[in-house]
Amino acid sequence: MALDSYVTLGRSGLRVSPFTLGTMTFGEDNGWGAPPADAEAMLDEYLARGGNSIDTANIYTLGHAERIVGDYFAARPGLRDRIVLGTKFFANLWPGDPNGGSSGRKAMIKQLEDSLRRLRTDYVDIYWLHNWDPAVPIEETMRALDDVVAAGKVRYVGVSDLPAWKAAEADLVARFRGWSPVIAMQVEYSLLERTPEGELLPMAAERGIGVLPWGPLRGGLLSGKFSRRHSSSGRRGENDSKRAWVRATEADYAVLEVLDDIAEEAGVPPTQVALAWVRSRPAITSTLIGARRPDQLKANLDAVDVQLSDAQVARLDEASTPKLNFPADNNRLLAPGLAFAGATVDGVTHSVPAALEKAR
């Protein structure tokens, strides 16, 4: 698969690359990140390989990421319409203003107008609800989003970081009312964060919602730098918590060891194995990737060509299997036996519950 082997996003007519370029690192306003020249170099690299999906947000480097993206496409007439550009709303960039953020109509419309100015475009292809405010009726948010779609300022609607029940409610309300539905969802998902498999990913599959995972390298822990073998003492590095966004647990180190083993077998960096695993998951449409430097992005993009064997995927699956919230494991492990009692259904032979074995 290559970046120009496009995939359909959810129940829509929108096609995106298997990797989406995330821009959270664009700009150094937060004391880290990529200067504009490096950000433009990363856009060059991504687009040259056939990538067409770019993700940003109003909060990324306090709007600077959007300005960098806007300036880039403004300098290249005609290119903007060839890409899928998404941005997010919810974050408040105006301290003290109670209507500066959140998901209410007034806040959302103002955020969209500001984002369009920074992006130097008159529409965005996907407008993402970045989070949700329990005080705002979801009907208000979805109706307001439908209005901006009707006005031609937004093409499609997505949600990010919502619980499964709220995302399902948003989509159900929109479809019932004849408003623009939710076509895609962003969630954190990686070898070290698989709990979305409990409710979020099954809900998305049931509703026909495309999934774009963020954090596929778990804040850098899956970069290959933090396993025990990369510490001279043979134990976890003392600077792990400073160099990565999250601290590894003992269970995480067990996964990292398997990741390193498979990377050595495949002859590729651990980052590419971790990204290839996420991309191979059946629920995933396009994986969000980003970097601080162009060379990091190039290495990450190379993961699009990495194909793991079934055996390698199985080893990674086994090492990283999560404990899921009730009733996910109950439904997944117990229910099929109760329902089918040893019958073979859809190519799978199910076990006979112990109570039924005694009744035979």
Q: Provide the token pair at 68.
A: 């960098």
Element (H, E) at 109: helix 105-119
6 is catalytic: no
d(CA 99, CA 108): 9
Burial 243-275 (b: 16+ CB within 10 A, else e): ebeeebeeebbebbebbbbbbeebebbbbbbbb
Residue 31: φ, ψ to 5°: 90, 0
Separation between Cα atoms, residue 237 and residue 228, nearest integer Å: 7
HSE (side-chain half, CA atoms, 13 Å) at 98: 2
For the chain, list the strands marked E by DSSP.
7-8, 15-16, 19-22, 53-55, 84-89, 124-129, 154-160, 182-188, 210-214, 287-289, 344-345, 348-349
Residue of 46, 60, 72, 189 marked catalytic: 60
Question: How far is it, in rounded angstroms, from Cα 335 to Cα 3?
Answer: 39
**Is the distance from CB of 155 to CB of 180 less than 8 angstroms?**
no
Contact between 57 and 26 (Cβ < 8 Å): no
**The one-letter amino acid at 120:** R
Q: How far apart, in whole angstroms, are the C-alpha atoms of residue 14 and residue 153? A: 16
Phi, psi dihedral angles at 204 (to 5 degrees): -60, -40
Q: What are the residue numbers of the active site?
A: 60
